[in-house]
A and B are shown apart, each in its own frame.
Chain A
Amino acid sequence: NAGVMQNPRHLVRRRGQEARLRCSPMKGHSHVYWYRQLPEEGLKFMVYLQKENIIDESGMPKERFSAEFPKEGPSILRIQQVVRGDSAAYFCASSPGHSQETQYFGPGTRLLVL
C-alpha cells in the first residue's frame, strides 16, 4: 500500500524556467493538499484540490503558481518563471475525505532556483 508519492525529489531550475511538481495521492484518496516549507520554518498551506476541482487556493501566490488535479493522473503544482525566492521544499498531502481526516504527507520535492 504505497504512500503519497512525489517526484522529482529534487529539482534544479534557473531563474525564468518552469518547475512542475507531481504528486500521486495514496490509493483511495481523492483530496490533495500542497504546502511549502522554507528553511527553518513550518509548512505553509498553498492549495487544496479534489479531483478536477480547486477547493481552496487561499495560500497560493496570485501569479506564476497554478495547481491541478485531473481526473486521471497525478496532481501537478506548476511554477512559471521561477525566481530564487521559490527555492523551498514543496510537500503534497492526501486524505480520503472532506472533514479534516488525517492528512498523509509525501517526501517532498526540494526546488532549488539558481
Chain B
Amino acid sequence: LAKTTQPISMDSYEGQEVNITCSHNNIATNDYITWYQQFPSQGPRFIIQGYKTKVTNEVASLFIPADRKSSTLSLPRVSLSDTAVYYCLVGDLQGGGNKLTFGTGTQLKVEL
C-alpha cells in the first residue's frame, strides 16, 4: 500500500478556497486516490475519488498531475462547518485492496 504524506494542520477563513496537498510517491498503476472527511465523534465520510487529471463533484475538486505522485483536494469557499480532519488514501481498486489505510490526516480549522 502506498504511503501518503499530508500537512498535519491548516488554518483558513470562511469564504476562502482551501487546497490540501497529499504526496504519494510510491503510488502503483492500479491505485486510486480517495479523500475522506471526519468530524469529531463521527465516522469518516467519503468526499471524492480519482485516478488522474481532475475530478469535480458538488463538494470538492481533486487535481492529480500526470505523474500521480501527489494530489490536491480543493474545497471552494469553506465555511465553519468544513472544520474537520481530511484523509488522503491511496489503494488498489481491483481486488485485494479493500482495507483502507488512513494516515493522521490534515486538521483543517476554519475561522470567521
Question: Which chain A residues have a beta carbon within 8 Å of chain B's beta carbons?
Answer: 4, 31, 33, 35, 40-45, 48, 55-56, 58-59, 91, 93, 95, 98-100, 102-108, 110
Residues of chain A lying within 8 A (CB to CB) of residue B91: 100
B101 at the interface (CB under 8 A from A): yes
As a 0/1 sequence over residues 15 to 53 of chain B, the CB contacts with chain A under 8 angstroms (1 = contact) are 000000000000000001010000001111110010000
Chain B proximity of A78: nearest CB distance (Å): 20
Return the contact of A105 from the options B34, B45, B104 (Cβ within 8 A). B45
Please give the number of chain B residues whose Cβ is less than 8 angstroms from any Cβ of chain A in the complex. Answer: 24
Residues of chain A lying within 8 A (CB to CB) of residue B105: 42
Dominant SS at the B interface?
A: loop
Question: Which chain B residues have a beta carbon within 8 Å of chain A's beta carbons?
Answer: 32, 34, 41-46, 49, 87, 91-95, 97-105
Please state if B98 and A48 are interface contacts (CB–CB under 8 Å): yes
Residues of chain A lying within 8 A (CB to CB) of residue B42: 107-108
Please state if B100 and A45 are interface contacts (CB–CB under 8 Å): yes
> Do A105 and B98 form a contact, CB below 8 Å, given A41-B104, A42-B105, A100-B93?
no
Please state if B104 and A43 are interface contacts (CB–CB under 8 Å): no
